[in-house]
Each structure stands twice: as C-alpha cells, then as structure tokens.
C-alpha cells in the first residue's frame, strides 16, 4: 500500500495492486496445498503435452530451463513425475506425469478455480468479461 498521490492513481499501480492481490491469494492457496506456481505449471504442461524433455517443458511453460531442473527435482521427489533418460537422444530426459501427479493436478485445478472466483468476486459477470477483454488488449 501507499499513500502517495503520484503513485496511487497510476494505471501501472492499479495493475500492480490488482496483480498483487491475485498473486497473494494464489500464492496462499498453492502454499496451503504445498506447492508453488512453478510446480503447477510444470504439472499442467506434462498433462497437456504428454511426456517430453525438460527443455520442452521450459518452452511450454515459459520457465527457464535452469529453473525447470529444481522444480522437477521436487516433483520427482514427490513422486508426481518421473525423469528417465531418453534412449533415442542421450542428451535428454523424458519427463512423465505419474498417477499421483495427475491426481494432484486435478486438486490444484480446483484450487486455481477457487482463486479465480475469489479474485473476481467484486465484479459482475459482464464486468469480468470486460476486464478480461481490456487486459487482453494490453498484452
């Protein structure tokens, strides 16, 4: 929060505040589920793209491949994903979603849905559509 005139009404600030609130709720919800955003994104990519290399995961999620390593370490330790050497290209690992990972992903999908609802709660359905449309134009 800030009480600065110069800052308070600025679009960048309003955007930042709204984002901070959304991110705060999302972070709390994920933390309560024992994961971070990166874990969810990787699980989602594994589900949507099927088994693939770590580099592929990075490209699919927008996560730097150096960051994929540690996050995947977690998922593997939690038995939510497997990391096997690719027999057809020894540079690569084939990353596979496990049953436990798929189940966890389903739970996290609901967590994410609930957060969307909580974030948008102050808006009517029409306002939500308008906001989404305007935000889309910005990027």
Contact positions vs a second copy (CB under 8 A): 1-7, 9-12, 14-23, 26, 41, 44-45, 47-48, 60-62, 109, 112, 115-116, 119-120, 122-123, 127-128, 130-132, 134-139
Among 8, 15, 31, 100, binds DNA (CB under 7 A): 31
Task: Based on the shown chain and the rule CB under 7 A, indicate whether residue 51 belongs to the binding site for DNA.
Answer: no
Q: Are 33 and 111 in contact (CB under 8 A)?
A: yes
* Residue 27, Cβ density class (10 Å: 0-12 exposed, 13-18 middle, ≥19 buried): middle
Task: Based on the shown chain and the rule CB under 7 A, indicate whether residue 69 belongs to the binding site for DNA.
Answer: yes
Query: How far apart are the C-alpha atoms of 84 and 81, rounded to whole Å?
Result: 10
Residue matched to tokens 């996560």 = 63
Task: Based on the shown chain and the rule CB under 7 A, indicate whether residue 6 belongs to the binding site for DNA.
Answer: no
């Amino acid at each position: 929060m800030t009480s600065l005139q110069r800052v308070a009404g600025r679009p960048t600030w309003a955007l930042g505040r709204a984002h901070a609130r959304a991110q705060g709720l999302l972070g709390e919800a994920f933390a309560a589920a024992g994961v971070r955003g990166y874990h969810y994104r990787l699980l989602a990519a594994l589900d949507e793209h099927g088994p693939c290399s770590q580099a592929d995961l990075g490209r699919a999620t927008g996560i730097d491949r150096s960051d994929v390593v540690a996050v995947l370490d977690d998922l593997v330790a939690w038995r939510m994903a497997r990391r096997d050497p690719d027999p057809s290209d020894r540079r690569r690992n084939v990353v596979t979603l496990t049953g436990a990972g798929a189940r966890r992903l389903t739970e996290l999908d609901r967590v994410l849905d609930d957060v969307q609802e909580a974030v948008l709660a102050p808006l009517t359905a029409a306002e939500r559509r308008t906001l989404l449309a305007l935000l889309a134009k910005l990027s």
